[in-house]
Amino acid sequence: MPFTILKLTALALADSVNPCAIAVLAMILMTILIQNPGKKIKVLYSGLAFVVAIYISYLFYGIIIIQFFKIFAEFLRTNAVYVFKGLAILAILVGMLNVKDFLFYKKGSFATEMPLFLRPKLKKIINKITSPTGAFVVGFLVTLFLLPCTMGPYIVASGLLSEIGFLASLPWLLYYNIIFVLPMIIITLLIYFGFTKIEEVSGWKDRNIKILHLIAGILLILVGLAILFSWI
């Protein structure tokens, strides 16, 4: 059986350490703090509002991907071996691209980071945020910018979930996305309770960006191999 909890968890963890989402969250919290100096409660609400918007959006995307696989259900039934091998190869390729970023890092790398040409557009949108409501609304728009760097593991996960049916896959989509947004929730709470500062989060991400890519790469390669060779 290609789908297992272990494979889904590994894919979600690989997605959750993606530097894209952490960088965007830091930008949003910094913008809110500049607009509302001294009002940390707004930073908390804005961070959580952004995370909720990301969660809802990715849940929606997951449902669309699963439905896409269901449209080709007959093809999947007769060619399941090839489909899952394709998902395995996709996971391995994205994993290798992440490992490449560990060895030879370059900003805006294909399939692992947000393209450079999108970043000024994203920053322009984020700079307009002044409230938690704005962070929530922008969260939906931001997902479109995050897709190029986060969608690889999600496509693999949704493809695996499609084999168990739409209703049965919903709880697992919820589970996947909880893991995906968990680092963003933790970062928001750490900043609110004073354990760290926004600048420190951004600096930590920049200092450890290669390590984050390596962790994601190893997890994706292991999942790809597990699917390919029918491991756990």
Q: How far apart are the first and last CA of the chain?
A: 9
Task: Encode the chain (232 residues) as per-residue pLDDT tens digits.
Answer: 578 899 999 999 999 988 888 888 888 888 888 887 778 888 899 999 999 999 999 999 999 998 888 777 667 667 777 888 888 999 999 999 999 999 999 888 888 888 888 889 888 888 888 889 989 998 898 888 888 888 889 999 998 898 888 889 999 999 999 999 999 999 999 988 888 888 888 889 889 999 999 999 999 999 999 988 877 6
- Give alpha helix (H) positions in 72-118: 73-78, 80-103
- Predicted confidence at residue 74, as pLDDT, reads 65
pLDDT digits (tens, 9 = 90+) for 115-135: 888 889 888 888 888 889 989
Residue 82 C-alpha from the chain's centroid: 26
Query: What are the residue ranges spanned by the domains of the chain?
Result: 5-228
Output Rg (C-alpha) for the chain, integer angstroms. 18
Give the CB-side neighbour count of residue 213, counting CA atoms within 13 A.
Answer: 26
A 10 A CB-CB count for 115 gives 13
pLDDT of res. 91: 93
Angle at CA of residue 97, ends 91 and 169, nearest 5°: 25
Residues 167 and 171: their CA atoms lie apart, in Å, by 8
Q: How far is CA 135 from CA 19, 39, 53, 113, in A?
A: 19, 15, 8, 22
Helix intervals (H) in 72-194: 73-78, 80-103, 119-126, 132-161, 166-192
48-77 pLDDT tens trace: 999 999 999 999 999 999 888 877 766 766
Contact 140, 41 (CB under 8 A): no
Helix (H, G, I), strand (E, B) or coil at 19: helix
